[in-house]
Amino acid sequence: MLRVGLTGGIGSGKSEVSRRLAAHGAVLIDADVAARQVVVPGSRGLARIAVAFGDDVLHPDGSLDRDRLGAIVFADPGLREQLNAIVHPLVREWMLAAERTAVQAADPPGPVIVHDVPLLAESRGKGGFDLVVVVDVPTEVQVERLVRLRGMTPEQARARIAAQASREQRLAVADVVIDNSGSLDDLDRRVGEIWADLQHRSGSAPS
């Protein structure tokens, strides 16, 4: 089994990479999915968030009002850290459980497990992964994509980028870097090369 951490800044195209790796045969474990699962109604995560931030961050049906919570924590780094301290351990727990299930179901054994973790550099560095893959683009490319694809203003895009780890911090934990500033054809070729490398590594990695 090979445990791979995949990360990249907002607008880098990390999701495009994760989809391509999954299509090649990687077992994908998505931190965004985990983050939603650990705050469903009735969960420990949602209860802790309600205690920390008040019932105003809940919809009338008891589910999490992500927009309201986001508006609160995005404007205050201290509150964002408080939220992360609640959610990140639960996300790690969920992802490890998903990994165990994937390994038990793997046929043949020795799969490539890709953990898609947007905030890997912020929350846990290399996190015990055998390999960390970073999807990288220049900051100006991130801004252009966020404006064009997500309807943000340039100022909003830069603020979102600034709230994450810096490009240099992500590259510092990288074992493999995917430059995604080119075309989708370029990305297809690069992911194909990396997948071949991951398969080779997984064949020699301890289970």
Give per-residue pLDDT as tens, 116-146.
Answer: 998 898 865 566 899 999 999 999 999 999 9
pLDDT exceeds cutoff 70 at 109: no
Question: Average pLDDT, whole number, for the chain?
Answer: 91
Alpha helices in the chain (DSSP H): 14-24, 31-37, 44-53, 66-74, 77-105, 120-123, 139-150, 154-162, 167-172, 184-204
What Rg, from alpha-carbon coordinates, does the chain have? 18
SS3 track for 37-73: HCCCCCCHHHHHHHHHHCHHHECCCCCECHHHHHHHH
pLDDT of residue 166: 94
* Superfamily for the 1-26+111-207 domain: P-loop containing nucleotide triphosphate hydrolases (3.40.50.300)
Q: Look up the CATH architecture of domain 33-109.
A: 3-Layer(aba) Sandwich (3.40)
pLDDT exceeds cutoff 60 at 56: yes
Q: Are 113 and 78 in contact (CB under 8 A)?
A: no
Q: Are 7 and 132 in contact (CB under 8 A)?
A: yes
Asked if the domains at 1-26+111-207 and 33-109 fall in one CATH topology, the answer is yes
Q: Are 169 and 119 in contact (CB under 8 A)?
A: no
Question: 10 or 122: whose pLDDT is higher?
Answer: 10
Q: Residue ranges of the domains in the chain?
A: 1-26+111-207, 33-109
pLDDT exceeds cutoff 90 at 163: no
pLDDT in tens, 57-78: 999 999 999 999 988 998 788 9
pTM of the model: 0.85
